[in-house]
């Protein structure tokens, strides 16, 4: 089991960062953190137990606010805040002040996820070392892939985001991943990760990356 590296922010707050490998070891997906389940409850129990042992962070009989905020394409920050019922307003103001950027990002992310097209599609996110690799991949699938695709640049890598419509073809995403694996590296593929690219990366082509690249570079 992974070792939880928790940092104490103050007497009312702790935080830790989980990577994709950490979540995979517990058989948890990023989107699972938004839905109560036995696995997420076990993770939260371990977090609070570790916090108690390391920092004497006592949470018994205390209301808690738990936030899960992406801090990269393959990492997520868990923030646990004790809410004193007598001082909820002052604590809320302090949290807002300390974490303005994180809450702004989270708020925008939630709005972004409300789009109907996002609800009815699966998402794949892969990165490539060179633009040539993105072009080669686009040329290879151009005749068969007609759903939304966007291209971003971040950390000197090129990221392709595929929004695959749920049209009953259960093998579509699996077949695309087999091809994508030949060219690039997979990342946590959820809407929050896509928004992280929009927020922090450079948008090169929006929605029609595969179509435009294949047309521009076709022989």
Using CA atoms, how far apart are residues 173 and 170, in angstroms rounded to an integer? Answer: 7
Q: What is the rounded average pLDDT of the residues 115-131?
A: 77
Asked if pLDDT for residue 112 goes beyond 50, the answer is: no
Alpha-carbon distance values, 20 to 26, 74, 150 (Å)? 10, 5, 22
Highest average pLDDT, of 30-44, 45-59, 198-212, comes from 198-212
Could you give the angle at the alpha carbon of 112 between the alpha carbons of 111 and 113, nearest 5°? 90
The kind and range of the H/E element at 175 are helix 172-183
Asked if pLDDT for residue 89 goes beyond 70, the answer is: no
Q: Residue 99: which pLDDT band, with cuts at 50, 70 and 90?
A: very low
User: For 27, which DSSP code?
Assistant: T
> Cβ neighbours of residue 16 under 8 Å, at least 6 residues apart?
4, 5, 6, 7, 47, 77, 78
State the residue for tokens 């696995």: 39
From the list 34, 193, 67, the residue with the least C-alpha distance to 118 is 193
> Cβ neighbours of residue 107 under 8 Å, at least 6 residues apart?
none
Q: What is the pLDDT of residues 166-212, one digit of tens each?
A: 777 778 888 999 999 999 998 877 777 888 888 888 999 999 999 99
pLDDT attached to residue 114 = 38
From the list 57, 76, 44, the residue with the least C-alpha distance to 10 is 57
Higher pLDDT, 215 or 76: 215
pLDDT attached to residue 84 = 66
- Domains (ranges, CATH) in the chain? 6-101 (no CATH), 116-216 (3.30.70.1950)
Higher pLDDT, 103 or 56: 56
pLDDT attached to residue 21 = 81
Look up the pTM and report it. Answer: 0.60
């Amino acid at each position: 089991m992974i070792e939880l590296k928790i940092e104490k922010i103050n007497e009312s707050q702790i935080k830790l960062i989980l990577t994709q490998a950490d979540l995979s070891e517990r058989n948890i997906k990023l989107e699972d953190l938004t839905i109560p389940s036995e696995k997420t409850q076990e993770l939260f129990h371990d977090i609070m137990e570790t916090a108690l042992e390391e920092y004497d962070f006592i949470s018994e009989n205390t209301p808690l606010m738990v936030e899960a905020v992406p801090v990269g394409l393959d990492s997520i920050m868990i923030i646990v805040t004790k809410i004193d019922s007598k001082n909820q307003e002052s604590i809320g103001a302090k949290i807002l002040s300390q974490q303005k950027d994180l809450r702004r990002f989270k708020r925008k992310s939630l709005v972004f996820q409300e789009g109907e097209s996002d609800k009815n599609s699966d998402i794949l996110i892969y990165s490539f070392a060179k633009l040539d690799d993105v072009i080669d991949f686009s040329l290879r699938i151009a005749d068969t892939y007609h759903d939304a695709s966007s291209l971003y640049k971040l950390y000197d890598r090129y990221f392709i985001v595929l929004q695959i419509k749920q049209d009953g073809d259960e093998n579509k995403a699996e077949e695309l991943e087999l091809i994508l694996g030949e060219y690039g590296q997979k990342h946590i593929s959820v809407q929050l990760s896509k928004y992280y690219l929009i927020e922090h990366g450079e948008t090169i082509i929006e929605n029609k990356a595969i179509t435009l690249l294949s047309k521009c570079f076709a022989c």
